[in-house]
Amino acid sequence: MSCIAVIGTQWGDEGKAKMIDYYSTSADIIVRYQGGANAGHTVVTNEKKYIFHLIPSGILHKDKTCVISNGVVLDPEQLLAEIDMLAKDGVEVAGRLYVSDAAHLILPYHKALDAAMEEASSKKIGTTRRGIGPSYADKALRTGIRVGDLLDEAYLRERLDQALKIKNVHLEKVYGMKPIQPADVLGMLLGFRDRIRDMIINTQNFLYQSLRQNRSILLEGAQGDALDIDHGTYPYVTSSNTTIGGALTGTGLPPFAIKEVIGITKAYVTRVGEGPFPTEDLGEIGVMLREKGGEYGSTTGRPRRCGWFDCELLDFARRTNGLTSIALTKLDVLSGLEKIRVAVNYEIDGKKLDYCPTSHLGHITPVYEELDGWSEDISTCNHYDDLPSRAKEYIRFISNRLDLPVSIVSVGPDRKNTFAML
Ligand code: IMP
């Protein structure tokens, strides 16, 4: 049985999609298991740049099967937009994209409430406004509507009527917004059902049977470790478990099926939205990283906050996910810096901490070590040996500090700018 999980180790946007695309070549099935269209997974092929919000990035490999499993919150309009975008480019998904009957739907009222709550709040989270929080809240409240409900129209009507009774009170009375008519949502949902009917399956069973048939599975995490609803920098987090537990509950796979957990790690750190960020650089380095690294949200276009590599944050990801290796991305962005800082410890009130606190991260001070930078452009390197010695030193430093092997290094957006280390 072979199953690999790929997880972001920072606050998202670590370059996961590119790595998933890389690992997809040796997988039979690629699974998105949590989050929703808040994610923006960018893959650059020879021909084109694709941004996927829901469909696993592995769909571009025409011999692969892709699954959106039960842990995902699914925006019907977004899914259809992605299917249509792929069809235009001759990428057919029929017969190789499956959607869990237990995945919850993101409906127009979830998006309206997400935006309204942000607008009304004096302490904003900075959500993507894609309806993620309200949809997961409905799941927990047991008032959500699932993909499988689409197959029973009478039941669907009943669920929708019930949900809208409450949602419209919120929309109208709390936020002064227009109520949403059940007929409008129902019409959209029935149209959606007609297009995806053949894709709806019990993905837990499908994945389990696939494992038994020795098919290899790649689990595609969205967002990053520090945005986890339980282990992240609450309340500045997303509403799902982005850590390894989410891969299990979000698929129903047995825990020991996962043989490798690869932490996708950017060579510096970024964060989009509000919340603590100990190594953020508010000066010219932060600006340089943003511009050179193209650090603008692929879902919202928002500028990302940028800063130095943080070993404590990474160590936290190592512990919470049981990382077996890391894939280091965007190393090329650091070229040209005379000195590169790396946070190696945290201090609070002058005392060293031996863990990464997620609730008072705003009060800690990072302790830095400074490494020599390199001036060479490394974006055309396609082997470890081609790297300048100081870039190699940077990789070694991170690997030694975390006591983790670096399995892959990426030095540019294209598929070919990637090389294996192990
Ligand atoms: P939500 O997931 O839209 O509710 O947003 C909650 C927080 O997670 C906000 O700070 C978002 O900017 C952040 N977030 C959500 N998805 C992503 C992502 O894919 N990459 C980076 N940050 C994200």
Q: How many CB atoms lie within 10 A of CB 132?
A: 25
Choose among 39, 415, 3, 388: nearest CA to 219. Answer: 3
Pair 204, 225: CB distance under 8 Å:
no
- Judge if 92 and 211 occupy the same domain: yes
**Same structural domain for residues 307 and 346?**
yes
Please state whether 104 falls in left (phi above 0), alpha (psi between -120 and 50) or beta. beta
Answer whether 12 contacts ligand 1 (Cβ < 6 A).
yes
- Indicate whether residue 232 lines ligand 1 (CB < 6 A): no
Q: Element (H or E) spanning 189, and its range?
A: helix 182-196
Answer yes or no: is the C-beta of 239 below 6 A from any ligand 1 atom.
yes
| 141 and 79 co-located in one domain | no
Choosing from 41, 104, 110, 231, the catalytic residue is: 41
Residue ending a domain, choose from 153, 177, 195: 195
Is 170 a catalytic site residue?
Answer: no
**Residue to mutate (ligand 1; options 132, 269, 272, 300; most atoms within 8 A of CB):** 272
13 is catalytic: yes
340-370 burial, b at 16+ Cβ within 10 Å, e below that, comes to bbbbbbbeeeeeeeeebbbeebeebebebee
CB of 148 within 6 A of ligand 1: the answer is no
pLDDT tens-place values along the chain, 422 residues long: 589 999 999 999 999 988 998 899 999 999 999 999 999 888 887 778 889 999 998 899 999 999 999 999 999 999 999 999 999 999 999 999 999 999 999 999 999 999 999 999 888 999 999 999 999 999 999 999 999 999 999 999 999 999 999 999 999 999 999 999 999 999 999 999 999 999 999 999 999 999 999 999 999 999 999 999 999 999 999 999 999 999 999 999 999 999 999 999 999 999 998 999 999 999 999 999 999 999 998 878 899 999 999 999 999 999 999 999 999 999 999 999 999 999 999 998 888 988 888 777 778 899 999 999 999 999 999 899 999 999 999 999 999 999 999 999 999 888 788 998 86
Domain co-membership, 250 together with 122 = no
Predicted TM-score (pTM) above 0.85: yes
**Last residue of a domain, which of 260, 280, 302?**
260
127 CB under 6 A from ligand 1? yes
| Closest protein CA for atom 12 of ligand 1 | 273
Kindly state whether residues 14 and 153 are assigned to the same domain.
no
Give the nearest ligand 1 atom to 38 CA: 16
Contacts of 261 (CB under 8 A, 6+ apart): 4, 5, 7, 244, 321, 322, 323, 324
279 and 252 assigned to the same domain? no
Question: What's 163's domain CATH number?
Answer: 1.10.300.10
Which residues form the domain of 70? 3-101+200-260
Q: Nearest-5° angle of CA 44, CA 419, CA 293?
A: 50
Instruction: Clarify whether residues 94 and 146 are in a common domain.
Output: no
Residue at which a domain ends, from 195, 215, 234: 195
